[in-house]
Amino acid sequence: MKLVILAGGYGTRISEETKIKPKPLIKIGAKPIIWHLMKIYSTFGINDFIVCLGYKGYMIKEELDKYMRHENWKIRFVNTGLHTMTGGRVKRIQKYINKDKHFCLSYGDGLSNVNIKKLIKFHLDKNKIATLTAVKYKNPKGILSINKIFNVKNIKEKPIEYINGGFFVLSNKIFKYLKDDKSIFEQDCLPVLSKSKQLMAFKHNGFWACMDTLREKKELNTFWKQKKCAWKIW
């Protein structure tokens, strides 16, 4: 199975760093956060990556090319445009999924110790178009209303216990729900799937973090220095 990584955004909320480099290249320890993400998936046998490039994409390619010499990774870099939205970026890599019935999707700035093998099994067992990983967060950024059979019933921008943590598994049928470069995956696609009962939530109560701000960058680096980095499962 392939992993598609969204790595083309501007990262404006952490502009102190992204003025000079794209957010996926901000380092935790000595390695960029996108490397940490790829190591997580590689631990579960996923070594075939499609990286959706945009803002300063050449820098991501140059950096990851260094690690390909030491890792058993196959990486395809795809320029998905400077101003393309998340759904549009996924739409642009459709031809590279080929005949794969399912694929994984992650943001290039998120880390977790979620069990990818169990996540994929959950997705295949439920036989829906999309599965997201629902995580607990102390300062929620959006609602996930989840019923007893883990269908996502609704998505709203209000505080609640679980949020969308990324770490998706998707059927190749997802491309029918993505129109063009202006499509926002989280706003235009996921709510439609939810209403048609084609979106599932895999609950993860372990570690999860994203790096949207300098504070979050410092927290992740502190975890790394103190060897309390729960996402380091390799």
pLDDT digits 0-9 by tens, 29-87 = 999 999 999 999 999 999 999 999 999 999 999 999 998 888 999 999 999 999 999 99
The superfamily (CATH) of domain 2-224 is Spore Coat Polysaccharide Biosynthesis Protein SpsA; Chain A (3.90.550.10)
The sign of the torsion formed by the CA atoms of 190, 194, 199, 202 equals: positive
Q: Where are the alpha helices (DSSP H) in the chain?
A: 15-18, 33-43, 57-67, 86-92, 94-97, 116-126, 190-195, 214-225
Q: What is the pTM of this model?
A: 0.90
Using DSSP bridges, classify how beta strands 48-53 and 2-7 pair: parallel, antiparallel or unpaired: parallel
Could you read off the pLDDT of 109-134 as tens digits, one per residue?
999 999 999 999 999 999 999 999 99
Strand, coil or helix: what is 82? coil
| pLDDT above 80 for 148 | no
CA distance 140 to 152: 16
For 127, other C-beta atoms within 10 Å of its C-beta total: 9
Spell out the domain ranges in the chain.
2-224
The sign of the torsion formed by the CA atoms of 158, 142, 17, 183 equals: negative
- Are the C-beta atoms of residues 199 and 151 closer than 8 Å to each other? yes
Could you read off the pLDDT of 11-41 as tens digits, one per residue?
988 998 999 999 999 999 999 999 999 999 9
